[in-house]
Amino acid sequence: MNQLHLRRGRERPLQRRHPWVLSGSIARVDGKPASGETVDLIAADGSWMARAAFSPTSRIRARVWTWNPEEPVDRDLLEGRLNAAAARRLETGLSRTTNAWREVFAESDGLPGLIVDRYASIRVVQFLSAGVERWRDEILDLLQQGEVRAIVERSEGDVRGLEGLSPRRGQIWGEVPAAEVSINEGDRRYLVDLVAGHKTGFYLDQRENRGMVEGLAAGRRVLDAFCYSGGFTISALAGGAESVVAIDSSAPALALAARNLELNGFRPQQCEWIEGDVFGVLRKFRDEDRAFDLIILDPPKFAPTSAQAERAARGYKDINLLAFKLLRGGGQLVTFSCSGGVDPLLFQKIVADAALDAGVDARIERWLAQPADHPVALTFPEGRYLKGLVCRVGS
């Protein structure tokens, strides 16, 4: 029998149903569990606590599958969790306005390390922990059920490396109709590159914030920094922006953004496109005394875990400081962090420091977050990764 015995006094997070066991909390391992294999978690007093997936290389040494001693970890458990997660998305009513959403969000849906995004009739899946990797065949088999035509795998990124797993990408079942798939969100349409695009292809988590930006853009001179495939750029144009400057370091992302504009009835010539490093471009704009009324900062993840939070904080502060300097009086900054290692309060402090150093007086008008298809289990606050602020500077 494979068992992880906890050190005395380290049971508290598990008692509160937090699904992770950190390596430092383990007194000993009985048996020889392989990567991803199921282990029982045993308290220091010998009582049974939970059943989890073992991850021999990660600091997160085990991730809980079930708190129920009667529930085996098997195909039935996976099927039940997958179906429940998909049903919750339908209950949100999202499918009335879009055909793309996150169907499974890992720990928050009781499937630690598993991401499933739905793009029309295609599922894009990420196996990001040793536990779900071990059940890969069963999960892929279950994901072929329902109205899906194809599955694409995007098991990549630093988390997979920490779990001791190598990256895997590509189409694994069915037929993907084209290199890019077209999805809709309300009246907007977007081309998504499922195989070569970022994450699983599109920033589904910014859906509601795209709508919010649309409402702020009328008559504004807008800067969309880190524009990727043009989500916020299109929102700004749709909202009646006077002009839009869009920056990204990736040429393929900018090319896709231009096509996305056309798909929504705008001309790419309506924007100024800049292929470059946002840090450098913003400095150059500052030196040229350029000014904007609305700036969107949506950088990539600077800190995947809290260990990198300090370095990330410098990056956030730097771009937010520059953005504050580029805003005209009365202008608004829409600034995001998707770093799990930077919590919302820390992010707010960083933005506050940036405003102070920029010498501007600003106030928060809104707090932004991820939408309902990226829920956060109350027992797992780490699931809250996307945070944003709308700040208006004084005139």
Tell me which residues touch ligand SAH (CB under 6 A): 198, 203, 206, 226-229, 231-232, 247-250, 253, 277-279, 298-300
User: Least distance from C-beta 248 to ligand SAH, angstroms?
Assistant: 5
Which of 191-227 are b and which e, b meaning 16 or more Cβ less than 10 Å from the residue's Cβ?
bbbbeebebbbbbbbbbebbbbbbebbeebbbbbbbb
- Compare residues 28 and 311 and give the one whose CB is closer to ligand SAH: 311
Tokens 């702020």, residue?
Answer: 216
What angle separates helix 251-263 from helix 231-238, to the nearest 10 degrees? 30
Closest CB 143 distance from ligand SAH, rounded Å: 25
Residue 74 C-beta: closest distance to ligand SAH, Å = 38
Minimal distance, residue 267 CB to ligand SAH, in Å: 20
Q: Tokens for 46?
A: 């010998």
Structure tokens at 126: 């990420």
Q: Which is nearer to ligand SAH, 231 or 383 (CB)?
A: 231
Residue with tokens 């598993």: 114
Nearer to ligand SAH, 35 or 235 (CB): 235
| Cβ contacts of 163 within 8 Å, gap of 6 or more | 55, 57, 58, 113, 128, 129, 130, 133
Q: Closest CB to ligand SAH among 4 and 278?
A: 278
| Residues 278 and 245 sit within 8 Å (Cβ to Cβ) | no
Rounded to the nearest whole angstrom, what is the least distance from the CB of residue 323 to ligand SAH in the complex? 13
| Distance of alpha carbon 266 from alpha carbon 218, whole angstroms | 15
In the complex with ligand SAH, which residue's Cβ is closer, 127 or 226? 226
Start-end of H helices in 47-74: none
How far apart are CB 137 and ligand SAH at their closest, in Å?
A: 32
Residue 16, both tokens = 């509160």
Residue whose tokens read 């709308």: 390
Catalytic positions, written as ranges: 338
Residue type (1 letter), 317: K
Burial of 87 by CB count in 10 Å (0-12 exposed, 13-18 middle, 19+ buried)? Answer: exposed
Return the structure tokens found at 77: 């458990």
